[in-house]
A = this chain, B = another copy of it.
Amino acid sequence: MRHSNETDPDIPALLIDLYELTMSAAYWDNNINSVATFDLFFRNLPENRNYLITCGIERAINFILNLKFDHREINYLRGLPIFENLSPIFFEYLSQLRFTGTARAMPAGTFVFPNEPVVEITAPIIEAQILETALLSVINFETMVASKAARVVQAAEGRMVVEFGARRAHGPGAAVAGARAACIGGCVGTSNLEAGLLYNLPVYGTIAHSYIMAHDDELEAYENFAKTFPNDTILLIDTYDTIEGAKLAVRIGKSVKAVRLDSGDLLELSREVRKILDDAGMAETKIMASSDLNETKLRMLMNENAPIDSFGIGSELITSKDAPSMPGVYKLVETREDGKTHYRIKLSKDKINLPGRKQVYRMRDANGMFVKDIIAAGGEFDNETNLSPLLITYINDGKLVEELPSIEWIQNQVKRGMTEFSDELIDPLASVDYPVEVSPRIKEMIKIAKSEHEGTTES
Residues of chain A whose beta carbon lies under 8 Å from any beta carbon of chain B: 2-12, 14-23, 25-27, 29-30, 32, 34, 36, 38, 70, 72-73, 76-77, 80, 82, 85-86, 125, 129, 132-134, 136-138, 140-142, 144, 164, 166-178, 191-194, 196-197, 203-211, 213-218, 224-225, 227-232, 238-242, 244, 263-264, 315-316, 319-321, 324-326, 328, 330-332, 335, 342, 344-351, 452-453, 456-457
Task: Decide: B240 and A15 in contact? CB cutoff 8 A.
Answer: no
Q: How far is the CA of A424 from the CA of B70 in the complex (A)?
A: 48
- Interface centre among A129, A132, A172, by most chain B C-beta atoms within 10 angstroms, is A172
Given A193-B14, A227-B29, also A210-B38 (CB < 8 A): yes
Q: Which of A167, A225, A231, A335 has the most CB of B within 10 A?
A: A167
The answer to whether B34 and A241 touch across the interface, beta carbons within 8 angstroms, is: no
Q: What residues of B have a CB within 8 angstroms of the CB of A30 in the complex?
A: 224, 227-228
Question: Separation in Å of the A326 CB from the closest CB of chain B?
Answer: 7
Residues of B within 8 A of A9 (CB): 6
Measured CA separation A348–B245 after assembly (Å): 11
Given contacts A8-B8, A12-B172, contact A231 B85 (CB under 8 A): yes
Query: Measured between C-beta atoms, what is the minimum distance from A46 to chain B in Å?
Result: 10
Report B-chain residues with C-beta under 8 Å of the C-beta of A77.
193
List residues of chain B with CB within 8 A of the CB of A239.
346-348
User: Is A167 in contact with B26, judged by CB distance below 8 angstroms?
Assistant: no
Q: Are A213 and B344 in contact (CB under 8 A)?
A: yes
Given contacts A214-B32, A351-B263, contact A166 B224 (CB under 8 A): no
- Cβ of A342: which chain B residues have Cβ within 8 Å of it? 216
B325 and A228 contact, CB distance less than 8 A? no
Cβ contact of A27, chosen from B8, B214, B316, B332, cutoff 8 A: B214
CB pair B453–A319 under 8 Å, yes or no, is: no
Interface centre among A76, A211, A347, A453, by most B CB within 10 Å? Answer: A211
Bound-complex Cα distance A86 to B228 (A): 8
**B196:A76 contact, CB within 8 angstroms:** yes
In the complex, the count of this chain's copies comes to: 2
Shortest CB-to-CB span from A329 to chain B, Å, is 8
- What are the residues of chain B within 8 A of A141 when measuring CB–CB? 169-171, 174
**Chain B nearest Cβ from A181, distance in angstroms:** 9
A146 to nearest B CB, angstroms?
Answer: 13
A349 shortest CB reach to chain B, Å: 7
Flag if B19 contacts A206 (CB, 8 Å). Answer: yes
Given contacts A30-B224, A191-B17, contact A23 B171 (CB under 8 A): no
B residues near A173, Cβ cutoff 8 Å: 6-7, 170-174
Contacts A7-B6, A325-B319 hold; do A205 and B19 have CB atoms under 8 A apart? yes
- Cβ of A159 to closest chain B Cβ, rounded Å: 20
Q: Which residue of B lies closest to A12 (CB)?
A: B5
Contact B194 A15 (CB under 8 A): yes
Contacts of A170 in B (CB 8 A): 141, 144, 169-171, 173-174, 178, 319
Chain B: CB-nearest residue to A86? B228
Interchain CB contact under 8 A, A14 and B197: yes
In angstroms, Cα B425 to Cα A399, docked, is 56
Among candidates B26, B174, B346, residue contacting A174 with C-beta atoms closer than 8 Å: B174
Say yes or no: A210 contacts B129, CB within 8 Å: yes
| Least CB distance, A248 to chain B, in whole angstroms | 10
A36 partner residues in chain B, CB cutoff 8 A: 210, 214
Q: Which of B169, B171, B328, B348 contacts A167 (CB 8 A)?
A: B328
